[in-house]
Amino acid sequence: MGNTNDLRNRINKKYGSMSRNQKLLAAYITDHYDQAAFLTAARLGEVVGVSESTVVRFAFSLGYKGYPGFQKALEELVQNRLNDTQEQEITYDRIRQSELVETILHSDIDNIRHTLETIDQTVFELAVDTILKAKNIYVAGIRSCAPLADFLAFYLNLMFEGVHLLHTNSSSELFEQMVRIGEEDVMIGISFPRYSMRILKAIEFANNRNARVITLTDSIHSPMNLYSSCNLIAKSSMVSVADSLVAPLSVINALIVALCMKKQTEVAKTLDTLEEIWEEYQVYEKDEIDSVDDSIKMHYAGKPGEKK
């Protein structure tokens, strides 16, 4: 595992000083290391769109004696990934079906407990303050983190104008959606292993435009923190083939509630407006809406005298 982590750390540490072509290589290798491990230097260069000599220089720049040494590190990365998957399969194969739910839920509880014990309250409050002061809020998360970004953006949209949920299949699409980001804005990037080079590029772009950057990731050593001034850390683990993102979702919930407490009037007004729209356009049937009256005075109750 040492060499595996070493390769990732070398790429992460060097990424900020890499040339454009080297960053293209880093992005491809991060997202497709299982394929890159079996490519010659010439073929890897062809796939990425750079020269063979650029690939070789890239290997040297990471501290390897040549492309063979770099390729060996890639092969070890693939092998360790396979070993991790096999170990997980063996672990869960040994669990009786009747114990599976209990085992998974206890694992999630441990993730939340660990996050609660280690999260920095000062950083959390900084994140809240940064979002409150932002003119525009950009939220990005892909692959398994996409639902987290979607959930956060949905509730931010009830509180703020200028909320942008970034959808992307490529880095160029991200940049197109972020082209107007500036120093009055904030970028919230969400990424957990396997880390996304696309999200890292988006965070780097936001940082270069002097926007404030908030990350939600799993470790202070995460590459997502390279360009961030505010790092929210939540424990994540892989359960068989699925990522456990319960603890990150809990941190997002806490963030939403903290912001709601600061924006009570705006949220109540937005919900009142939505209620009127839903009723006017019959978005929901009346028997599907229950009355709610919570601590921040968001009223869903029907009109006085109306049967419920």
- Read off the CATH number of the domain in which 55 is found: 1.10.10.10
Q: What does the pLDDT look like over 144-175, one tens digit per residue?
A: 889 999 999 999 988 888 999 998 766 678 88
Q: Which of 27, 59, 93 is the last residue of a domain?
A: 93
Cα distance between residue 219 and residue 225, in whole Å: 9
Are 84 and 144 in the same domain? no
Query: With contact defined as beta carbons under 8 Å apart, do 132 and 262 qualify?
Result: yes
Report pLDDT for 133.
93
The domain total for the chain is 3
66 versus 172: the higher-pLDDT residue is 66
| Residue 99 included in any domain | no
Confidence band (pLDDT; 50, 70, 90) for 241?
low
Are 217 and 139 in the same domain? yes
Confidence band (pLDDT; 50, 70, 90) for 295?
very low
> What is the value of pTM for the model shown?
0.63
Q: Lowest-confidence range among 39-43, 206-210, 219-223, 249-253? A: 219-223
Report pLDDT for 305.
47
Q: What does the pLDDT look like over 109-119, one tens digit per residue?
A: 888 988 888 88
307 versus 136: the higher-pLDDT residue is 136
* Total residues found in the chain within this entry: 308
Confidence band (pLDDT; 50, 70, 90) for 56?
very high
| Residue 78 included in any domain | yes
Tokens of 223: 């590459």
Listed in sequence order, the residues at least 6 apart from 143 whose beta carbon sits closer than 8 Å to its beta carbon are: 196
Cα distance between residue 251 and residue 267, in whole Å: 20
Are 153 and 251 in the same domain? yes
Are 160 and 235 in the same domain? yes
| Residue 114 included in any domain | no
Question: What residues make up the domain containing 276?
Answer: 264-308
Report pLDDT for 4.
42
| Residue 276 included in any domain | yes
**Long-range Cβ contacts of 115-124 (<8 Å, 24+ apart):** 115/233, 115/234, 115/235, 115/247, 115/250, 115/251, 118/233, 118/235, 119/232, 119/233, 119/234, 119/251, 120/233, 123/230, 123/231, 123/232, 124/232, 124/254, 124/255, 124/258
Are 156 and 123 in the same domain? yes
The CATH number of whichever domain residue 163 belongs to comes to 3.40.50.10490
**DSSP class per residue in 123-162:** HHHHHHHHHHH-SSEEEE--GGGHHHHHHHHHHHHHH-SS
Report pLDDT for 263.
83
Report pLDDT for 286.
54
